[in-house]
Amino acid sequence: MRNSEIKNLFTKADEQVHVDEMRKQKAYHAMMKEMEKQRIPMMSTKNILFHQFWYMDKLFFAVYGVLICLGIIFISALQYTGVNQNEMITVCMVGAGILSITSISVIDKLFFGKMAELGESCCFNTKQCVAAWLVLSGMINVMMLFLIAGYLNYHWKVGLVQVGLYILTPYLVSSITSLEILSMEKKGKNSVLFGMSAIFLSISYVIIGSIPGVLFTAALWIWGAAFLLSGLLLVMQIKKLFNKMEKGEVLCMN
Amino acid sequence: MKDSELIQKVHSGNKEAVGIIIEQYYADIYRFCLYMVQTEDDAYDITQETFLKFMKYGTSYRHNNLKGYLLTIARNICFNYFRDKKEKVTAVEWEEIDKIPNHGDKLAEAEDAIYLRNLLQELSQDIKEVIILRIYEEMKFKDIAKIMGCSVSTTKSRFRLGVNQLKKIMENDNEK
């Protein structure tokens, strides 16, 4: 049997297969309907974000910004009062910790500042909103930490690695604590915990900074170990928070 | 008009282009579906779904072979159909000849249509698909392989197997 014979069979069969014009028209109309549906104007992602940013309560952004400015002024003022190197490092450690706690506590406030409606727009879920803020605030914080590190390195002649460890370790520890509070938090009722943790951690950093020899080069390995450990814990903490968010246990607006 | 232009026009909301696509390809896709699923009603439904899917998801399609693209969609829907419904094993009844529009009393040709559908029914889905795409749609093995998501050599061997099977079935029928 040759292919042409099968082809011939198809050709003959084709002559008997007639297309129902009604069904063809039905398909055409279904396509037109689909086309109309697709032409309903949709707001672009950029516009949704822009409108949402415009709509949300920006008080906490202002507080965050003011806090950063106050920190800079406070450090500058301290310099003129004649503090020593170790005291200034301790102040910067406290500053880094407060910066971290503030930026994470803003996540809690964002959900009362109508940011969560982004999630309801079906374009972004809560996890994406939180992740977006963590990235944004993280970028601002890193910039601030760079400024502090640059200042300590330039003015107080502290090695960059040392400065990095002294600032980043308290920053990470504060982040872990804040994320833990956020994971426990139920509809913002425990917001006061953020304040308490900021005070408690600040006192802890002052105590750590005043331990003799803790800011010497010889103690750097302890700082390095603490930094690595807190980095690891932070990753685990973020994972835990996102898992809880996915289950709707925290930051759920429904 | 080139297929790429046609697709572009459809996705920019040109109603005329939709009409052209339906006129050009509806019959081909319908016949392909009919040979695949054997049931007219289901073939019409699958054909309509094929064109709807093209409207919904075809925005990213940039190539020049619209028929190939539509056949790929149709083929996937046919396979979903087989999976969901489990293919009926009963052959097309000879009594169905009466239901086929009989233009000019060409009873012999009507028999051919039923005979072909029964022949195809004997083949497995993969082999039937290659036979239809290669002989009926006159597609290259390379394109068939792309649609089926397998290698060219697999497509060729399925085709040879299909032709041999058809040959055997027809010889047996002739002996009867």
The pair of structure tokens assigned to A98 is: 């407060």
Q: Does the CA dihedral B143-B138-B94-B169 come out positive or negative?
A: negative
pLDDT for the residue A63: 79
**Minimum-distance CB partner of A31 among B51, B101, B115:** B51
Q: How far apart are the first and last CA of chain A?
A: 68
The amino acid at residue B28 is D
Least confident of A110-119, A229-238, B117-126, B127-136: A110-119
Give a yes or no: residue B169 inside a domain: no
Residue located via tokens 């940011």: A115
Give a yes or no: residue B51 inside a domain: yes
Q: Measured between alpha carbons, how far is A23 from A28 in angstroms, rounded to an integer? A: 9
Q: Are A193 and A181 in contact (CB under 8 A)?
A: yes
Q: Are A127 and A118 in contact (CB under 8 A)?
A: no
pLDDT for the residue B101: 46
10-residue mean pLDDT series, chain A (254 residues):
76 81 90 79 63 65 83 84 83 88 76 49 59 78 85 81 87 89 65 84 89 82 92 89 69 48
Residue ranges per structural domain of chain A: 45-247
Residue A1 and residue B167: Cβ atoms within 8 Å?
yes
- Which residues does chain A have within 8 Å of residue B18's beta carbon, measured at their own beta carbons? 28, 31-32, 35
CB half-sphere exposure, B141, CA atoms < 13 A: 11
- Which residues does chain A have within 8 Å of residue B39's beta carbon, measured at their own beta carbons? none
Q: How far apart are the first and last CA of chain B?
A: 51
- Nearest to A166, CA basis, from A179, A181, A153: A153
Q: Crossing angle of helices A21-38/B15-37, nearest 10°?
A: 130
- In this predicted structure, the answer to whether residue B18 has a pLDDT above a threshold of 50 is yes
Classify the phi-psi angles of A208: left when phi > 0, otherwise alpha if psi is within -120 to 50, otherwise beta. Answer: alpha
- pLDDT, greater one: B162 or B65: B162
Residue A72: burial class (beta carbons within 10 Å; 0-12, 13-18, 19+): middle
Residue B162 has phi, psi (to 5 degrees) of -60, -45
User: Which residues of A fall below an 8 Å CB-CB distance to B?
Assistant: 1, 3, 6-7, 9-10, 12-20, 23-24, 26-28, 30-32, 34-35, 38-39
- Which residues does chain B have within 8 Å of residue A29's beta carbon, measured at their own beta carbons? none
Question: Nearest CA to CA, how far is B34 from chain A (Å)?
Answer: 9
The pair of structure tokens assigned to A172 is: 């990470």
Give the chain A residue nearest B100 (alpha carbons). Answer: A16
Give a yes or no: residue B141 inside a domain: no
pLDDT for the residue A189: 59
Average pLDDT, rounded, for chain B: 78
User: From the candidates A12, A29, A39, A42, which should be mutated to test the interface with B, based on the most B CB atoms within 10 A?
Assistant: A12
- In this predicted structure, the answer to whether residue B51 has a pLDDT above a threshold of 80 is yes
- Which residues does chain A have within 8 Å of residue B129's beta carbon, measured at their own beta carbons? none
pLDDT for the residue B44: 93
Give a yes or no: residue B151 inside a domain: no
CATH number for the domain including B77?
Answer: 1.10.1740.10
pLDDT for the residue A41: 57
- In this predicted structure, the answer to whether residue B109 has a pLDDT above a threshold of 60 is no
- pLDDT, greater one: A82 or B72: B72
CA A244 vs CA A152, A184, A203, A238: distances in Å: 39, 10, 30, 10
The pair of structure tokens assigned to A60 is: 């906490």
**Minimum-distance CB partner of A34 among B44, B55, B135:** B55
What's the complex ipTM? 0.76
pLDDT band at B176 (very low <50, low <70, confident <90, very high): low
pLDDT for the residue A1: 58
Give a yes or no: residue B44 inside a domain: yes
User: From the candidates A4, A11, A31, A39, which should be mutated to test the interface with B, based on the most B CB atoms within 10 A?
Assistant: A31
Give a yes or no: residue B115 inside a domain: no
Q: What is the mean pLDDT of residues B48-59?
A: 84
Question: Nearest CA to CA, how far is A24 from chain B (Å)?
Answer: 7
Residue B109 and residue A16: Cβ atoms within 8 Å?
yes
Q: Measured between alpha carbons, how far is A112 from A106 in angstroms, rounded to an integer? A: 10
Name the residue range of residue B25's domain. 1-88
pLDDT band at B59 (very low <50, low <70, confident <90, very high): low
Other CB atoms within 10 A of residue A223 CB: 18
How many domains does chain B fold into? Answer: 1
